[in-house]
Amino acid sequence: MKKQFKYTAIALLLSTTIYGCGQEAKKEQTTTQATSSQQTLTAQDAKTFLTKVGKEMAQLGVEGSRAEWIYQNFITDDTAALSSDANQKSTEAAVRFAMAAAKFDNVEVTADQRRKLNFLKQSIVIPAPLDEKKSAELAKIGAELGSIYGKGTYTTKAGKKLSLGDMTAIMATSRDYDELLELWQGWREISPPMKKLYMRQTELANEGARGLGYEDLGAMWRSNYDMPAAEFPKELDRLWNQVKPLYDDLHCYVRSELGKKYGEDKVPQDKPIPAHLLGNMWAQSWGNIYDLVAPENADPGYDVTKQLEKHGYDEIKMVKGAENFFTSLGFAPLPETFWQRSLFKKPADRDVICHASAWDLDSKDDLRIKMCIQKTGEDFATIHHELGHNFYQRAYKEQSVFYQNSANDGFHEAIGDTIALSITPKYLKEIGLIDTIPDESKDIGLLMKMALEKIAFIPFGLMVDQWRWKVFSGEVKPENYNTAWWKLREKYQGVAAPVARSADAFDPGAKYHVPANTPYSRYFLAHILQFEFHRSLCKIAGNTEAINRCSIYNNKAAGKALNDMLAMGSSKTWQQAHKVLTGSEQMDATAILDYFAPLQKWLKDKNQGKQCGF
């Protein structure tokens, strides 16, 4: 998942983990509390409050985004300090805004004002208790958890010290069962010290959430989705059950092929797949084992990387090509400042953060990407994805500062990936990168590659927050943290720990988003929504082919429909935004089944006579 940066206004606050607040914020909270106890707040008070907050948010957004851009493109102690200072300023403001917004819970206000007030309350990912000592403790725990993960290494039995990046690269390419097992176990040695910290963090964050009127932190997170918090998990399970038949077919086939490679004594054909054999440290995506499971004769007959070289594509031409996709839909070209201020190549004279990201620095027209582009087919697709974020950001720039964000946190990633789904052989031929479109028999290999990334990820994207919500509610006690984690992984993924795990282990902590407290349901939603959006856009474009072969390139009707939804930002419920493009307020994962229909038929044929299920 590529990260999109939106450091302006409300999104700055939404993307920030709040661990505490400074003395100035504490004083203002105290003043607000005293004032509210002396007088009854009114709708006019809410209007005045929101106007003032909107102005401050806009200013904080510009300051924060500029500081972060400079830091990520010129990494020094000084730029790190400037970024840290700006982030602290915004987090303290977020606490003030949330606490003050909560004072209006029982005030009769307009629907628009209520939506803005709720956004402010829900902008804090980890809310601190009002008690100053507890707030400071929460801040310290957050820093410690981040430090443990960030500094994590493993020294192999052969004495070689490896970073997570080193281990990830080996996991992707090694086919040595014992080497994979050693690295899988080795990385999980970093997380047991996190357990007590995480327990205490949960206690403090729950206290903070209750102070804002929520039952627990999980309920607060689930309240971000324009539906009752208790209904959101049910909705996710409904969507999952639509996809599950396809996942089960993929799982059965992959398990069989891994059994052929490693032996059925190591990969039993009636049990979950050992987690270390799927090409990824967390078994969350399986694309790295494509060579082990690839269909015969699946080569499409072209290599996008070679075609880019053949046609003289450099980094700028690759980005210009992706921009052309959007202008072909009717979107205005990117501003000249985009080309002047973006980072396209890794500088030779300084350190930068190369992770691909899309930026909106001023909620107007200062759009940029930051990416150390490699001249590969993968990066060509990634550029289309990142520009999807930029065009979304520009589409909602006329909205109130409170609504300059996606309809829900799954939409932004979904839009980038929706665009990437149109990078089909048909599109590549239209822009002159390939000469002929392979026949449909070659689609199976392309679909298999995509399924190993996207379909394999879906149950993992679901279960991470399922585990956390149970922890936050107290349903899962600390002594059962690890046991519950693996029960959920077996239930949803059909993946198991390759060796017995101690109850004292803390394997969830080996996944970045857990110690970093990054909500994860957004990634599940993005994987559902992107196929829905693609199916709808293809229908609007008048496509008559299988939707896995459809590209909306050069179709103005599809472009207008897309922009109509993007321009809404978060001003309306996600259900309303969803309906603008799909015609329905309910998400529908059957679009995934439609997209992968040829592959699913192929998988069912290959799985005949096999024992499927886990």
Dihedral sign (CA 447, 453, 459, 465): negative
Buried/exposed code over 225-260 (b: 16+ C-beta within 10 A; e: otherwise): bbeebeebbeebeebbebbbebbbbbbbbbbbebbe
- The torsion angle over the Cα atoms of residues 366, 81, 14 and 582, rounded to 10 degrees, is 40
Stated as kind and residue range, the H or E segment containing 161 is strand 161-163
Q: Whole-angstrom Cα distance, residue 81 to residue 206?
A: 30
Nearest to 59 by CA among 438, 557, 401: 401
Residues 6+ apart with CB under 8 A from 593: 242, 243, 245, 246, 600
513 catalytic per annotation: yes
User: What is the rounded distance in angstroms from the CA atom of residue 585 to the CA atom of residue 318?
Assistant: 36
Active-site residue, selected from the candidate residues 215, 235, 315, 513: 513
State the Cα–Cα distance between residues 351 and 549, nearest whole angstrom: 40
**H or E element in which residue 4 lies:** strand 3-5
Judged on CB neighbours under 10 Å (0-12, 13-18, 19+), 483 is middle
| DSSP line for 339-382 | HHH-B-S--SSS----S-EEEESSSSS-EEEE----SSHHHHHH
CA dist list (Å): 434 to 78, 191, 315, 377, 554: 47, 47, 19, 12, 17
Query: Half-sphere exposure of residue 156, counting CA atoms within 13 Å on the CB side?
Result: 16
- Helix, strand, coil share of the chain (percent; to 5): 60, 5, 35
Considering 68, 137, 207, 386, which one is annotated as catalytic? Answer: 386
Q: Which helix (H) or strand (E) holds 483?
A: helix 481-493
Helix axes 232-262, 443-473, angle to 10 degrees: 130
318, 373 contact by CB (below 8 A): yes
Q: Is 355 a catalytic residue?
A: no
Tell me which residue has tokens 């307020």. Answer: 585
* CA dist., res. 375 & res. 382, Å (int): 11
Nearest residue to 471 via CA among 506, 497, 510: 506
DSSP letter for 130, please.
S
Q: Is 79 exposed, middle or buried (0-12, 13-18, 19+ CB in 10 A)?
A: middle
Sequence-distant (6+) residues with CB within 8 A of 296 are none
Residue 524 to residue 575: CA distance in whole angstroms: 16
Are residues 376 and 318 in contact, defined by beta-carbon separation less than 8 angstroms?
no
User: How many Cβ atoms from other residues are within 10 Å of residue 52's Cβ?
Assistant: 12
Q: Which residues are catalytic?
A: 386, 513
